Amino acid sequence: MALPTDEEVYVFLQLQSADGYVQSVRVIEQTIFLVVDAERVATSAHDKHVTSRRQLAALSRALHEKFQLDVQVSIASDAASQRIQTALESVLRVRFGDSVSGVTVALLDAETASVWIDAEDVNDLQVVDQIGVATRDALRLFDLPKSSLHIQAPVVEEPTLLAILRATKILAPVPIEQLAKVLVTDYRLPSEHWLAAKLDLARKRGLVIRDHSGAFHLTEEGLAAVPAGRGRNGTDVVRALALIKRRWR
């Protein structure tokens, strides 16, 4: 099933009368990220422009049922987020010009923000890295050390859940440190913490287990989700070769 676009999710939100309080929508990997204006979250909902935590939970369930994706809702201060967003966008535009086509900031608490950078015309990985470094430097100056950063660019490809499961199948039993080292050779891995969150999501879905030593294995459901493939690059063949190499070390 193809991932929905941001616009498709927003149309669904409009049908649910949720567009009055949802500030932004992003579909990244297997997750729908919603940013909701904190000032519009009340104890009980009064009209379409005011919602409650209970209604947000119901909206998350509806989105999950519709698109079969995980949903993360961030409740952010609109005014504070806008101040940070304007300042960050100014910093990045001065240095990178039109390479940065958009900036979205959701301030979650005093030390944490979710930041999305649109660099859709950037094909140089070095420039993407420079944008990332400049953004993190700015976030530290804004006293937001715990922030998460997502850069949307053609050269940036984070490993999908299927790619993580495939690598886990080949390497199992595999500690997260080794899994990260393997994945980073083919993908852009935001951090080991990011990978841990993806593995935790897979564990909750019943796709992986973590043994007493901290190593990860696929469950029966996880194995069924990973195509074995054919030929020398099939996962079963690659895993057999990996086990042979491990045995002769």
**Token pair belonging to 235:** 């996962």
In a domain, 213, yes or no: yes
In a domain, 1, yes or no: no
- The domain tally of the chain equals 3
Q: Looking at the structure, tell me whether residues 54 and 125 fall in a common domain.
A: no
Q: Looking at the structure, tell me whether residues 119 and 166 fall in a common domain.
A: no
Neighbours of 157 (CB within 10 A): 11
Residue 118, domain extent: 78-152
CATH of the domain at 145: 3.30.300.30
Q: Looking at the structure, tell me whether residues 55 and 131 fall in a common domain.
A: no
Digit-by-digit pLDDT tens for the chain (249 residues) are 567 888 899 999 999 988 888 888 888 767 888 888 777 887 655 555 578 888 888 999 999 999 888 888 877 767 788 889 899 999 999 999 999 988 888 887 788 888 888 888 888 888 988 999 999 999 999 999 888 888 888 766 778 888 899 899 888 889 999 999 988 877 778 778 889 989 998 999 899 999 999 999 999 888 888 766 444 444 444 434 444 344 444
Q: Looking at the structure, tell me whether residues 67 and 83 fall in a common domain.
A: no
**Token pair belonging to 132:** 């990332």
Q: Looking at the structure, tell me whether residues 187 and 204 fall in a common domain.
A: yes
**CA distance readout (Å), 119 to 30, 71, 98, 146:** 20, 24, 9, 22
Give the C-alpha separation, 158 to 180, whole Å: 12
